[in-house]
Amino acid sequence: MNRSIFLVGPMGAGKSTIGKLLAAQLRLPFADTDKVLEERTGADIPWIFDVEGEAGFRRRESDVLEELCRGVCQVIGTGGGIVLLAENRHKLQQCGHVVYLQAGVEQLLERTSKNANRPLLYVPDPRKRIEEILREREPLYREVADVICTTDHLNPKQAAELVAERLQDFLCQ
């Protein structure tokens, strides 16, 4: 495999967790765009949102994506909103194989409720916000995806195996 694998999808779909397992299974390094961004800035995502707003965060996220595209072949878990910018969608498609990790609202609510590092969900009604995010981003995830895998009702290991299987099928066509 000579191209990186990008995992896209909404927050809580399992991009980081599944990505680490997939990388181990494929014997590739793993990178998480949010973690790389936090390491580069020395600040966490909520702080960047507070100080620079979502637009500032998205600019930084694009820079990280550009950097990772120039790096070694690896599995890369992306931030849920990375597809919002057309330039990022183009980079994802040009630099690797894109897997859309799809999950239903119930699963996303359950998974994100355990993590306070979700600035877009600092709202009175997280369910409504997740539904809004999905309506906006679903077409963009589908636009960039080479492979779509639904992670509902799968544990992370099962999901990583499904992605590897589906990706292998895609790569062997």
pLDDT, residue 40, reads 92
128 known ligand binder: no
129 known ligand binder: no
80 known ligand binder: yes
Q: Which stretches of the chain score pLDDT less than 70?
A: 1-2, 111, 113-124, 169-173
Q: Shortest CA distance to 151 belongs to which of 28, 18, 23, 4?
A: 18
Residues 92-101 pLDDT 10s? 999 999 999 9
pLDDT, residue 129, reads 85
Q: How far apart are CA 140 and CA 9, in angstroms?
A: 9
pLDDT, residue 93, reads 94
pLDDT, residue 11, reads 85
pLDDT, residue 54, reads 86
16 known ligand binder: yes
Residues in the chain: 173
pLDDT, residue 123, reads 64
* Residue-range domains of the chain with CATH: 4-167 (3.40.50.300)
58 known ligand binder: yes
12 known ligand binder: yes
pLDDT, residue 173, reads 42
Q: What is the 3-state secondary structure (H, E, C) of the chain?
A: CCCEEEEECCCCCCHHHHHHHHHHHHCCCEEEHHHHHHHHHCCCHHHHHHHHHHHHHHHHHHHHHHHHHCCCCCEEECCCCHHHCHHHHHHHHHHEEEEEEECCHHHHHHHHCCCCCCHHHCCCCHHHHHHHHHHHHHHHHHHHCCEEEECCCCCHHHHHHHHHHHHHHHHCC
71 known ligand binder: no
113 known ligand binder: no
Bridge partners (DSSP) listed for residue 47? none
104 known ligand binder: no
pLDDT, residue 172, reads 47
Q: Shortest CA distance to 115 belongs to which of 7, 2, 17, 38?
A: 17
pLDDT, residue 107, reads 85
